[in-house]
Structure formats: structure tokens, C-alpha cells
Structure 1
């Protein structure tokens, strides 16, 4: 079984933590190559779990913990949200006109499985949800290769994001040595030493 990808962070107890959690999740899942549809569902589920955790009555200095785990071979994404509050969340059956109590209904509808566990070594609980992710979302985050072997049509990891390579050309530095010039989908052309390692994905890799 492959090693899981895992990221964790903590959130302050304020309403702005919900969009912050979604933004952090999106950054992580985009980096992992998760599809847009799966990412959207994960954002919905995490937003509901964090919203519920923020509503729990606890001392104000108690933060909300978030853990994101992807087990590639199982094709599952697990989202965990921990709080220090008592009680156990339950799926509600709100009336047609009620605006609250639908969060876990959404989680139950979108998630493959969900549940609640007592926190290990601490007070409170962890609410978790597992979502299925497509096969192609589990491909490797990238492969490190020399810049000289990068080809048009691949994506290169630069400035914290993936950028498509439009064209590749070679040139010599005035002081000697070979350079590679990559024209990207966004931003300035990238000029790097031919032997410099770059992280790429997609397309055919030489060598």
C-alpha cells in the first residue's frame, strides 16, 4: 500500500475560518492533482464540518483542527475536523422552511462514509468524512527531471502552481554553459541552466 499524502492545520474560532479552510484545502488538492469535481465536493464537506465545529460551545482559546489525508491506492480522500466540545453530532431532519440543521445531510449525501471518533489524547471529538476520488486524480504529483529534457505540452511546477509549457528552446549563457528557455502559459519565460532539475507532469518524459 502506498504512503498517504497528509496535511494538517489549525483554525481560530471565527467565521472567517470557514473560507480559510476551503482555500487551504483547495491549495492542497490542486497540488495533489485532484480533479475539479472532487475538489468542489471536498470543499462543500469541509466547509460544513468546520462550520459545525465552530458552533460548538468551548473556551474561546480552543482551536479547530483540520487534517486532510489522501490514500492513493484506496482512491479515498479523508477530511477530519476536531473540536474540544462535548456532545455528538447527529443528522437532523429540518422542516422545509428551516435554514439550519442541513449540514450533516449534505455531508451524508456527498461523502462515501462519515463518522465521529473521540480524540486520542485530548478532549472532544473528531468528525471525519471520506470521499471517493477518480483514478486519474491519484497520479504522481510530478517527476523531477533535468530542464534540458522538458518538452512542450508538459506542465512544470513553478511559483507554487503548475504551468503549461508552450515551447522549449536552448541558448548559451554569455559566460558559457547551456541554458533552456521555457515559454509558459502564464508569467515570463523561464530561463534556467540545462542541468537544473525541474518538477514536471504530463506528456512524454525523455530519458
Structure 2
């Protein structure tokens, strides 16, 4: 189970998983007060880690796990990508005429610390990178608002759990009443009446 300080999701082994990972990262970090420079570095690092995981030779039905976490006490942003493959990720020194092999060089240059760990449960490994984010915000304030007022990047309480909102769209019930569809970072969605009050955590409570 994730908390308001981390987001975890799984990606299929497809080319579209790299931009999807970046979109989910952007949705999380936009609510955590991360500045644009750190956000840009984080997007590059996560893209490289996911790309490398997609290249690991494993069965096609094996998904990639991603976790994005923040530590206010240490001022760090941690990115983790897990795959079911073996091997040890190593920084290469490709020649000038080689077009690839520079992914981990970029990760090592941008990250405060990076490495890999064997997965505690299951097969494979988790590659992680930590970036310094001194402006990362503290726990957001909770307030109640109508579903129609919820915005992307906020975190809402659904069935006792806090869920990061990746997208919001307007809808209508068959009977004609206004509805809102909330799309969450784990790929699920929820349709509620537009006026239904929801508990929302956000770092910026201004309208």
C-alpha cells in the first residue's frame, strides 16, 4: 500500500510505457512542489531506467514496476524501476561512433545516488536513483471539495485510501445528472456525482 509520500504503479512491456511513466511522474511531482529543474532531471532519469528495464530479456507478460517516493526530512526524490530480469546494471563507456549505451551515464550524472537491489519478493531487481530536491514540500493540507473541483495532481481519499489523480473529465449519468470521472495513477478510475464531497490533499489550496 502506498502513502501520500509515494506512488507505485506497473507498466506493460511496450514502447508507450516510457511516456506514460513520465506523465505519471509529472502528475505526482506537480503536487509535491518540485522545481522545474529537478522535474526535468527526474523525467530524464525515469525515462532511462524504464527504457533499460524494457530491454531486459524476460517473458513478454512480465510487467515493469515503478515507485516514486519523496523524503522531506532528507530533501530527496527517489525513483525505482523493477524488472524480472537478471544481470547487474553497469555504466558503460561507449565509443564516439556508438549510438547507444549512454543511459546509465546520464543517470549517474544527474542522480545524487543510484544503484540496484535484489527484489525482496519475487525474481529480478530494482534499479533506483535519488535526486536532491531541497524544495520538496511537507505534507499537504486536507480539505473537502465537490468532485467537480478536483484537479490533476491532487490526492483524494477513496474507500479509506489516498489516491493520486492523473486525470479528470466531465461525464453524465444515463438519467442526465452531471458526473465526474477521476483517473488514478494505478490505472483505475472512479465516476462520482459532480457535487459529491471528496476529501482532497493538495499542496496549493488556492483556487
Using the size of structure 1 for normalisation, the TM-score is 0.69
TM-align CA RMSD:
2.7
Aligned-partner SS, 1:9? strand
Counterpart for residue 85 of structure 1: 85
CA-CA distance at 1:143 after TM superposition: 4.9
Greater per-residue helix proportion: 1
Contact 1:48/1:103 (8 A) holds in 2: yes
Change (3 A) 1:95 1:8: same
Aligned-partner SS, 2:20? helix
Change (3 A) 1:92 1:142: same
> Hey, what's the Cα distance between the residues in 2 that align with 1:202 and 1:144?
11
Q: 1:26-175 alignment to 2 at 5 Å?
A: 26-135=26-135, 137-144=136-143, 158-160=150-152
> Hey, what's the Cα distance between the residues in 2 that align with 1:132 and 1:7?
18
Q: 1:179-198 alignment to 2 at 5 Å?
A: none
> Hey, what's the Cα distance between the residues in 1 that align with 2:20 and 2:41?
16
Which 5+ residue runs of structure 2 have no aligned equivalent?
155-194
Contact 2:32/2:203 (8 A) holds in 1: no
> Hey, what's the Cα distance between the residues in 2 that align with 1:197 and 1:13?
34
Query: What are the Cα deviations for residues 160-181 of structure 1, in whole angstroms up to 9, with x where unaligned?
Result: 358xxxxxxxxxxxxxxxxxxx
Using the size of structure 2 for normalisation, the TM-score is 0.69
> Hey, what's the Cα distance between the residues in 2 that align with 1:21 and 1:102?
20
CA-CA distance at 1:200 after TM superposition: 6.6
> Hey, what's the Cα distance between the residues in 1 that align with 2:117 and 2:132?
20
Change (3 A) 1:63 1:161: closer
> Hey, what's the Cα distance between the residues in 1 that align with 2:199 and 2:56?
48
Query: What are the Cα deviations for residues 61-114 of structure 1, in whole angstroms up to 9, with x where unaligned?
Result: 000000111011110011000000111110000111211000000000000000
Compare CA radii of gyration and give the structure with the larger one: 1
Which 5+ residue runs of structure 1 have no aligned equivalent?
147-156, 163-191
Larger deviation: 29-38 or 79-88?
A: 29-38
> Hey, what's the Cα distance between the residues in 2 that align with 1:71 and 1:61?
33
Query: What are the Cα deviations for residues 120-176 of structure 1, in whole angstroms up to 9, with x where unaligned?
Result: 1111100000000023x2244345389xxxxxxxxxx733358xxxxxxxxxxxxxx
Change (3 A) 1:200 1:27: closer
